[in-house]
């Protein structure tokens, strides 16, 4: 069974999260199994931002960097929704969106009316559903008023990750289930393989170094202990043309499901894993160390599917899990829960964090 097939079977038991950054100071959106919640005080308290979304599994978020009250939500089984008032009201934004699930969203930082979605088809919006390859990548140039296919050259595979070159938003990267990474240099019009070293891999997350966009990190989820598909972190120094393992300090079969890069020092990254907590590198992936507390702490054996670094406060990182949100303010030395106002055992599927 594919990675997404396995994940779909437990989607309501574990969290799926991919991160995007809002530019509204102090605003954090949490996408959960019951819509969207919002905080304006760094996760100290949360309130529902759910009108039109209550009861819907929200998988992915994208915030308009020019107009941060405009937010897009990719859902499980209900396509895409949009708010223009900071989550107070949501309306469907799915004209032309033929698949039913938006696993990931990415927004063009220079032209924020342009949005990309990695899609899949699901058998139903339930915990027992399975994901199947859909249209791949679709695109809107009108703020989600309409969507068109943007998948020429992509294989028949589920698109599990999207990343945009911040210095040249016409360059995009798409991570796939079991087919590695693909690159577009024309804003999604066509795609080619950018795969040497990870051509048959399950890609969970992609991060472009904002200081040097030729440097890209990929989180690989593999399949299970001892499987043939590679896992961990791989790194490209040439814009995705070739990849090499960057796994020193990580077990060979450690499943990495999310990555985050420190905006204050892009040699610092964090990697979230399935069941093995969070790891940190301070030398651009040269070596990783665990930044979990003692095994009796709250992070032991928790599945982490979301990571984001705070763009305003060095050393502050948020982690979304199947049981709410964890936060560190000291670069991972200590972690605390940041769940006040969230329902008990909230499964956090995505976070969108604004500067504080």
Q: What is the pLDDT of residues 41-51, one digit of tens each?
A: 888 999 999 89
- 136: helix, strand or coil: strand
What pLDDT, on a 0 to 100 scale, did the predictor assign at position 167?
Answer: 94
pLDDT of residue 218: 96
Q: Quote the distance between the C-alpha of residue 281 and its chain's center.
A: 19
pLDDT of residue 23: 41
How confident is the model at residue 293, as a pLDDT?
A: 60
In terms of pTM, does the model score above 0.75? yes
Judged by phi (left if over 0) then psi (alpha if -120 to 50, else beta), residue 263 lies in: alpha
pLDDT digit string, tens, across residues 285-320: 999 999 976 444 556 556 777 888 888 888 988 888
d(CA 318, CA 338): 9
Q: 3-state class of 9 per DSSP? A: helix
| Distance in angstroms (rounded) separating the CA atoms of residues 245 and 154 | 24
Residues (pLDDT < 50) of the chain are: 1-25, 126-128, 224-225, 294-296, 355-356
Kindly report the CATH number that applies to the domain delimited by 3-354.
2.130.10.10
pLDDT of residue 40: 87
- What are the tokens at 170? 């016409």
Q: What's the sign of the alpha-carbon dihedral 283, 308, 33, 162?
A: negative
């Amino acid at each position: 069974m594919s990675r997404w097939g396995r994940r779909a079977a437990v989607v309501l038991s574990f969290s799926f999260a991919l991160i995007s950054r809002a530019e509204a100071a102090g605003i954090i959106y949490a996408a959960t199994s019951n819509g969207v919640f919002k905080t304006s005080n760094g996760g100290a308290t949360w309130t529902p931002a759910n009108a039109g979304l209550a009861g819907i599994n929200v998988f992915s978020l994208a915030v308009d960097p020019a107009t941060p009250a405009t937010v897009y939500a990719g859902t499980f089984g209900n396509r895409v929704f949009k708010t223009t008032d900071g989550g107070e009201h949501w309306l469907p934004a799915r004209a032309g969106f033929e698949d039913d699930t938006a696993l990931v969203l990415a927004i063009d930082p220079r032209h924020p009316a342009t949005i990309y979605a990695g899609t899949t088809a699901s058998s139903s919006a339930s915990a027992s559903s399975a994901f199947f390859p859909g249209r791949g990548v679709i695109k809107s140039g009108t703020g989600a008023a309409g969507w068109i296919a943007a998948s020429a050259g992509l294989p028949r595979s589920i698109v599990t990750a999207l990343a945009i070159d911040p210095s040249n938003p016409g360059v995009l990267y798409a991570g796939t289930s079991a087919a590695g990474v693909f690159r577009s240099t024309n804003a999604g019009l066509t795609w080619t393989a950018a795969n040497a070293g990870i051509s048959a891999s399950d890609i969970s997350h992609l991060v472009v170094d904002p200081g040097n966009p030729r440097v890209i990190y990929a989180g690989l989820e593999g399949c299970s202990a001892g499987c043939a598909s590679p896992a961990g972190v791989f790194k490209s120094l040439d814009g995705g043309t070739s990849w090499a393992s960057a796994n020193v300090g990580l077990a060979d079969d450690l499943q990495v499901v999310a990555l985050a890069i420190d905006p204050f020092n892009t040699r610092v990254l964090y990697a979230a894993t399935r069941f093995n907590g969070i790891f940190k590198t301070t030398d651009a992936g040269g070596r990783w160390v665990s930044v979990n507390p003692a095994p009796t702490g709250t992070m032991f054996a928790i599945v982490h599917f979301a990571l984001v670094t705070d763009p305003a406060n060095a050393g502050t990182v948020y982690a979304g899990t199947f049981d709410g949100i964890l936060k560190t303010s000291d670069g991972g030395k200590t972690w605390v829960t940041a769940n006040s106002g969230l329902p008990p055992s909230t499964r956090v599927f995505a976070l969108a964090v604004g500067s504080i």
